[in-house]
Structures are given as structure tokens and as C-alpha cells.
Structure 1
Amino acid sequence: MTSATLGSQLRTATYHLSAPADATTPRLARKFVTGALEATRHPDLIESALVCVSDVVTNVVQHARVNGLSVEVAAYDRRVVIAVCDANAARRPYRRQAADADDEHGRGLMLVEALSHASGVSLVWDALNVIGKSVWFELRESGS
């Protein structure tokens, strides 16, 4: 896993979605991310973004034990950073080392790592208090 850096690229737009953590939210998050990437002229990143955001949002819905979540899309010139945040810092995702061919679960973070340039989990702070976590991933256009 590598860390994302801003470098000399300037943010061109930020989009934010707040939603309940329920079974319909992964679909809503996919539509939201599609719209944001189309609006910011990053259509080549949509396919990978949809797989990643679907897996991360589904993890929150199934495992975080929270009522709501947020999705943020930060668009830059040739890359985007997408973060899914929730209010339960104690229940952090972890990547399984391996999944059997017939396993229905356990591949989400492996897919995110495989499809993204960088990814990670960050704590969300309010002053000196941890108030949640953010699972993020960065996608870059070819040649970036």
C-alpha cells in the first residue's frame, strides 16, 4: 500500500454524499460516483471506481454497525480520490491474506488494492477525539 500525495495537482472539484447504511446504499453510491466522475471528465476511471466504492460501502453496511455513511469524491487533473467514511473507528476493515475460490466474502479490499494506485484507512478526528474512519482509494488515468 502506498500513500497518496497532492504534489503539484490542484483539486478541481469535490462531491459529497451522505446516506443511510442500508442495503440500497451501495447502488446509490455507484450512481453518485458515476455522476461525479462524468461531471469531472474522468470517464476512464468509472469502471474501477464502481467496483471499489461498491466493495467499501458494502463493508460499511455489513460490518461497521453504523446508521449512516458518507462518500466523498475529490477530483484532480488526472486522478481522483474517493473516501467512504463512517462513525465507527473501532471496527476497521482488514484485508484477508487469501480467499478460496468459492468464498462469497473476503475479496473486497484485495480488489480495491488491485484496482487502485493507492488505498488506505485513516482515522477521522474532531480536535483531539477520534470520531470515525475513512477508507479511501486513489485512481489515476493511464500515464499518470
Structure 2
Amino acid sequence: MPPAHGATPSPLGEPAIRPPQPPGESFALPARDTSVAVARRRVRHQLYGWGLPSTTCDNALLIVSELVTNAILHTQSSQVRCLLWSSGQLLRIEVADEGPGLFRVRPRAADSEAENGRGLLLLDALALRWGVVAPDQRAGCTVWAELTAAAQQSAPAAPAPHTRARTAQALLPG
């Protein structure tokens, strides 16, 4: 099965880039709908504490909301784990669940009347890169996204979706 748009499953073995330790933050929350707001508050506190630009923080909060919501709604997990790390130039977000994994994950256009179904499109639009750690490589499913963490003087044009898919890299923390 080819990878989904923007998603490249991570290979086993040593990652191309290992997240710096610290700064990093990891926390687990029960898989309940109230945990989405708790995750946003914890992420907001951590990112502003790191002094990341407000645009990065706002985009990260949207991504965390989507990923935690998906993990809660689409799996039968008892908990959801979030991982954040920043190199100063790059912010990485990971959300892991205890579910069976994502199969044939593809951003798709939602029906105009639908209240949901736009999460992966949002992720694809906001993240520099994102992907899914294949469920056969880890228990559960881990969806990760990377954002620019440094302040930019002018916002560059977003790459075309086909370019984003070709440049997607899977990075697996150790």
C-alpha cells in the first residue's frame, strides 16, 4: 500500500534526526473528550514557556486538538500520549494511541455539510511534514507533525501538495 499524502511510515532502526533532549515534554491523558482541552492547555503552557512564536503555538494547538480528538474518537484506547520537542528551529508533535493503527489514511474533502472529516487536511496544510508510524513498528498508532518553530520575517508560500508529499520524511524518536 502506498503511503498517504504527506505520510511516510517510519522505518525501524535509527532515526534520521534524533529529537534533542531536552527541551521536550511528554504526558498521557485518559482517552475522554475532556482530555482534548487539557492537552491544549498543557501544550500552550509548554510552547509559550519555550518562547515559540504565537503563530507556531496557534498552529500547534490546532494540530494537537485534531490528533488527540482522532485518537479518542477512532480508537478504543484507555489513554492518549502526547510528545513535544523543539530544537529552536523545529517543533515536533506526536500523539500516540493504543489503537490498531491507521490504514489507507488519506486527506480527503469533507462533505460541505459535514461537521468533521477535515482533520488530516488541516494537518497537511499546517505542518511542514507529518506522518504515521506504522502500527507494526510500535504498539498502537503514532501520528506526528513538524512545524517551523523559529520566527519568520515573511511567510513563504506553502509548497504544492504534490511537493509536500515528495518531501515528507518519517522521523522516529529513539
Corresponding position of 1:70: 81
Matches within 5 A, 1:1-144: 1=6, 6=17, 10=20, 12-44=22-54, 45-88=56-99, 90-92=100-102, 94-123=105-134, 130-140=138-148, 141=150, 142=152
Identical aligned residues as a percent: 27
Q: Which has the higher strand share?
A: 1
Equivalent position amino acid for 1:26 in 2: V
**What is the RMSD of the two structures over their aligned residues, measured on CA atoms?**
2.6
Task: Determine if contact 1:74/1:82 at 8 Å carries over to the other structure.
Answer: yes
2-structure distance, mates of 1:12, 1:5? 18
How many residues end up aligned between the 2 structures?
139
2-structure distance, mates of 1:5, 1:121? 16
Deviating runs (4+, > 2 A) in structure 1?
A: 2-7, 9-12, 93-97, 141-144
Question: TM-score w.r.t. structure 1 length?
Answer: 0.84
